[in-house]
């Protein structure tokens, strides 16, 4: 195996994860909340709540979603979200905690890689179109001012404060 190859994912520890699920269930029961109450507050499906509390690795959502679900669950039940996630990681046998958003870029700084905002191709294209539209609007305004004599308040030979003479319909 090479030094740069990723390490295989650790094997889940089903009994420890079941114990973690029982911990969550016990804490919810102690607070007098039903699974439906937690599902309503977190807006998670009841089946997801039941799978987490059962600690069944086969029914649990993928880890990337699970960490967020655990944080929502903890908030709804009144537990410390960081503590709940840490307990799950210990039960699952995970060495490293789930990286926080933006942690990948922080790692890039340590490794001396290029840093700074990275624009996606879609965002770059959108910015270019916005700049082009702004230039065209500015050019149209400049041309309109030149044709009208350069005074923005002068419209069709009259000042904007002057009233147009009344012409009856059908009159020459």
pLDDT at residue 143 is higher than 70? yes
**pLDDT for residue 168:** 76
Per the CB < 8 A criterion, the answer to whether 97 and 89 are in contact is: yes
Confidence band, pLDDT 50/70/90 cuts, at residue 15: confident
pLDDT at 170: 78
Average pLDDT, the chain: 76
- DSSP annotation of 100 reads P
Q: Is the whole model's pTM more than 0.75, yes or no?
A: no
pLDDT for 18 beyond 50:
yes
The mean per-residue pLDDT over the stretch 75-96 comes to 87
Burial class (CB in 10 A: 0-12, 13-18, 19+), 81: middle
Average pLDDT over residues 17-21: 90
Please write the tens of the pLDDT for every residue from 23-57: 999 999 999 999 999 999 999 999 999 999 998 87
What would the mean pLDDT of 104-129 be, rounded to a whole number?
Answer: 58
């Amino acid at each position: 195996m090479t030094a740069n190859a990723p390490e295989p994912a650790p094997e889940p520890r089903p009994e420890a994860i079941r114990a973690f699920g029982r911990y969550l269930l016990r804490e919810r029961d102690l607070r007098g909340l039903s699974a439906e109450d937690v599902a309503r507050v977190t807006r998670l499906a009841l089946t997801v709540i039941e799978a987490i509390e059962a600690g069944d690795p086969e029914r649990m959502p993928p880890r990337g979603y699970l960490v967020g679900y655990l944080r929502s669950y903890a908030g709804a039940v009144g537990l410390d979200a960081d503590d709940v996630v840490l307990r799950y990681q210990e039960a699952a046998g995970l060495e490293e905690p789930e990286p926080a958003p933006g942690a990948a870029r922080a790692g890039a700084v340590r490794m001396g890689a290029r840093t700074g905002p990275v624009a996606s191709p879609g965002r770059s294209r959108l910015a270019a179109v916005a700049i082009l539209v702004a230039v065209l609007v500015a050019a149209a305004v400049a041309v309109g001012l030149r044709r009208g004599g350069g005074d923005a308040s002068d419209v069709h030979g009259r000042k904007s404060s002057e009233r147009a003479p009344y012409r009856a319909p059908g009159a020459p």
